[in-house]
Amino acid sequence: MPSANLEAAVSTAVTARMINNGQSCIAAKRFIIHEKIYDEFLKKFVARVSAIAVGDPMDEKTELGPLATAAIREGLDDQVKGSVAKGARVVTGGKKLDRDGFYYAPTVLADIPSDAPAAWDELFGPVASVFKAKDIAHAIEIANSTSFGLAASAWTRDDSERDRFIADIEAGMLFINGMVASDPRIPFGGVKNSGYGRELAEFGIREFVNIKSVRVMAAKGDKGSATE
């Protein structure tokens, strides 16, 4: 949102998309930006994504390594090509890299139609999908338009916007002004096609136990009411 710390949001966005080469269930994948700051965000975001150091994962200077398998890379490339065929625009990247290993260029897609794979499917690799929202209602509409609902991150310094995101975003986890992360102190899990049930924290422990229900009734003829 326009009230957010833009520099912090952009910096975190790059890390959140590219961490583990984009192969993480909770890595940020779709970026929904208010139209007032869309152009500025996209410019800064693309500049940083384009500058990512791709290389040998054993080299400490490398920021992005290869994908895990050839199949993952082929599937990702098909999703990008399918999105472009629907009208999406490749701002940077958008192709396999010609080197040993299953490398894919750090990619940013924009102007994505609602029927493109980048809008509704999960792109499991270093590809970011950027969307423009007219207002907070439109932003939430885009956020909820996917069948997935594992986690979301909302960036705002406005209390009313924060409360609206908390109430209306359909996700099992919501982080405000921070990157989604697994933390043993809080429950982990999603909604919709992202599954059900929770891991971690008090609620996660309950998933691994069987609750025994016991009800003790007063014997017939005894005085007094039932004791439970």
Domain that residue 156 falls in: 6-182
Contacts of 72 (CB under 8 A, 6+ apart): 23, 102, 124, 125
Q: Which tens digit of pLDDT belongs to each residue from 150-178?
A: 999 999 999 999 999 999 999 999 999 99
224 — pLDDT class (breaks 50, 70, 90):
low
For residue 36, tell me if it sits in a domain. yes
Q: At residue 34, does pLDDT exceed 80? A: yes
d(CA 156, CA 23): 27
For residue 196, tell me if it sits in a domain. no
For residue 27, tell me if it sits in a domain. yes
Predicted confidence at residue 220, as pLDDT, reads 77
Which residue, among 128, 150, 131, 151, has the nearest Cα to 141 in the 3D structure? 131
For residue 200, tell me if it sits in a domain. no
Q: Which tens digit of pLDDT belongs to each residue from 181-201?
A: 999 999 999 999 999 899 999
Q: Which tens digit of pLDDT belongs to each residue from 96-133?
A: 999 999 999 999 999 999 999 999 999 999 999 999 99
For residue 191, tell me if it sits in a domain. no
Predicted confidence at residue 223, as pLDDT, reads 65
Q: CATH number of the domain that 84 lies in?
A: 3.40.309.10
Using DSSP, state whether 145 is helix, strand or coil. Answer: coil
Q: Total domain count for the chain?
A: 1
For residue 202, tell me if it sits in a domain. no
pTM above 0.75, yes or no: yes
Predicted confidence at residue 222, as pLDDT, reads 66
H or E element: which one contains 81? helix 70-86
Would the CA dihedral through 7, 146, 50, 103 be positive or negative? positive
Q: Which tens digit of pLDDT belongs to each residue from 53-92?
A: 999 999 999 999 999 999 999 999 999 999 999 999 999 9
For residue 21, tell me if it sits in a domain. yes
Share of the chain above pLDDT 90, in %: 93
For residue 124, tell me if it sits in a domain. yes
d(CA 46, CA 201): 37
